[in-house]
Amino acid sequence: MTGPVRTPDHLRASDAAAGFEVADDFAPFNQMNDIFTRAMWDDRVRSADTDAFFASYRMEAAPRRGEGFGPRDFALRNAAWLVSDIISNRAAEDGLREGFQGAIRNDTPVAAQRVDLAPPEAEAAEIKRLARFFGADLCGITHIDPRWHYTHRPDTKTMEPVPNTLPDGLTHVIVMGHEMDKALVDTYPSALAGAATGREYSHEAAIVMQLAAYIRNLGFEAVASMNDTALVIPYAIKAGLGEYGRNQMVITPDFGPRVRFSKIFTDMPLAVDAVRELGIARYCRDCTICADACPPKALPKGAPDFGAEVAGGSPSTQTGVRKWSANCEACFGYWAKIKTDCAICMRVCPFNHHARGTLWYRLATSRWRLIARWWAARRRPARLKPSKWWAQSR
């Protein structure tokens, strides 16, 4: 599947509800072109800095002067990634980085005998209850949509493209959200803050595998997935978990952009969730706090478009759908420079600091959003110093 893809008829209504505008020339994305994969094969992206960035997540971290970049900061970040790394590296000899550049392999077979199911609405409610039992903070369900699936993934041994395939007959996607620790997020940019990212990837690896195993034990296919196989952002929006923000993230009512997502592809008959119009994306149209704070100026300040205002024709940008798009090369170049992920755009987002139910949130998602913008512009929470985080943890 490499050419233009027609929008399936049964998804047109939810596209409209989600505000998705998909052009006739839209084509699915090839994962060989995501910025992290390109940093492994494309000399236009790969450099000594990007190699050192990846190496720093092993035992080659290079602590340096600067608060939040000391030996303990890197040690905690890398320890937080450990469980995720064990899963993602276990099939390395097969050229598969599970959860990132290939789906997570089934650890249990699909049971030969299918159980008798309750109506789809009851089964969906049960799946959400069990997602929370295993540790997910959010859960929604939507239809499978091949437009968002990668055409190819990399063979991580050869760095050649290979087909990105799933079992036949899958019909639904279960999307789970995993809240990142707010205090750690508030220390971005720092190696310490990277522990918030790593911890959730480790958590979600366990959670998504456990829920998928439960479904397979019922006799239905369930493929566990993290950053692999398909773009999770459109799936999370279609599953009713949030709206797309200028900072390129799904902004949720409860946690703002401070969320990582995992997903399960299944053929289990489940009721799907409705897209929710939350007023968050409407607020983002006139707010540029994240773009103003971005050190490499990688985020756009204009309106969403089909061609990416700041991307400059980058192969790492999905085109053919109207959205805000980042300059991926500039963004990742900054990550490589500081040897850790940067999520300043997440930290400064007003929705990171004001959750659903607060006065600010109610103003921001209503016709009074101009008051919320005025408030956010004048009362921006300061970055939490990493030393204060360490002091609080004692």
332-387 residue pLDDT tens: 999 999 999 999 999 999 999 999 999 999 999 999 999 999 999 998 999 999 99
**What's the confidence (pLDDT) of residue 58?**
84
Cβ-proximal residues to 13 (8 Å cutoff; 6+ apart), any chain: none
Share of the chain above pLDDT 90, in %: 87
pLDDT at 4 over 90: no
CA distance 363 to 191: 34
Position 3 confidence tier, pLDDT thresholds 50, 70, 90: low
Q: Coil, strand or helix: which one is 219?
A: coil
Report which DSSP code applies to 33.
Answer: G
CA distance 306 to 183: 35
Report which DSSP code applies to 241.
Answer: S
What tokens does 177 get? 């959200």
pLDDT at 1 over 70: no
What tokens does 60 get? 């080659």
Residue carrying structure tokens 């805000």: 324
pLDDT at 307 over 90: no
Residue carrying structure tokens 């249990």: 108
Position 14 confidence tier, pLDDT thresholds 50, 70, 90: confident
pLDDT at 226 over 80: yes
CA distances from 366 to 279, 280, 360, 372 (A): 7, 9, 10, 9
216 with 109: CB under 8 angstroms? Answer: yes
- At 312, the amino acid letter reads G
Position 217 confidence tier, pLDDT thresholds 50, 70, 90: very high
219 with 113: CB under 8 angstroms? Answer: yes
**What's the confidence (pLDDT) of residue 319?**
87
177 with 55: CB under 8 angstroms? Answer: no
CA distance 85 to 88: 5
**What's the confidence (pLDDT) of residue 142?**
98
What tokens does 360 get? 């600010």
For residue range 241-275, what is the model confidence (pLDDT) as tens digits? 999 999 999 999 999 999 999 999 999 999 999 99
Task: Work out whether the CA dihedral 265, 267, 269, 274 comes out positive or negative.
Answer: positive
CA distance 51 to 92: 18
**Pick the residue with more confidence: 2 or 351?**
351
In 3D space, the residue among 192, 197, 216, 321 whose CA is nearest the CA of residue 264 turns out to be: 216
